[in-house]
Amino acid sequence: MNIQIGDEITLSEEVVPENTAKTWGSGSLPVYATPAMCTLIERAAVALLSDKLDEGMTTVGTKLNIAHVSATPVGGKVDCHCTLTEIDRKRLEFHVEVTDAKGRVGIGTHERFIVEAESFMEKAEHKFD
């Protein structure tokens, strides 16, 4: 495992009709959806860790604490800057900030846990046995 506090990444996406609040059902307006922003945040954290974990290991998202503070219309671009701020055994915490051309769109933290993929899936698949 090769992860360090301070590791960072920026992931971007264009606001299109498919990732608006109106389409996601999280609101009635054609602006960047909060659930789309949450997905971008998780994707950024996953991308940051993609080549840093030991074989057979992965991460699962466990917590998001975000504020969506500004609307971005269709045609705008949003950037998610994700920085690893804490490592506590298998728990990882990230500071995230989402911006567009005019400034801050969202800010918060995201938590993920490192798990062994095979045993995690075995447990999940037998959850209702």
19-52: burial string, b at 16+ Cβ within 10 Å, e else: bbbeeeeeeeebbbbbebbbebbbebbbebbeee
Task: Judge whether 43 is annotated as a binding position.
Answer: no
User: What sign does the dihedral 8-3-34-117 (CA atoms) show?
Assistant: positive
Query: Which amino acid belongs to residue 118?
Result: E
Task: Judge whether 112 is annotated as a binding position.
Answer: yes
Query: Which positions are annotated as active-site residues?
Result: 34, 42, 68
Which residue reads 């998780």 in tokens?
42
Query: Which residue positions form the known binding site for CoA?
Result: 61
Annotated binding site for substrate: 61, 112
Residues placed in the known binding site: 61, 112
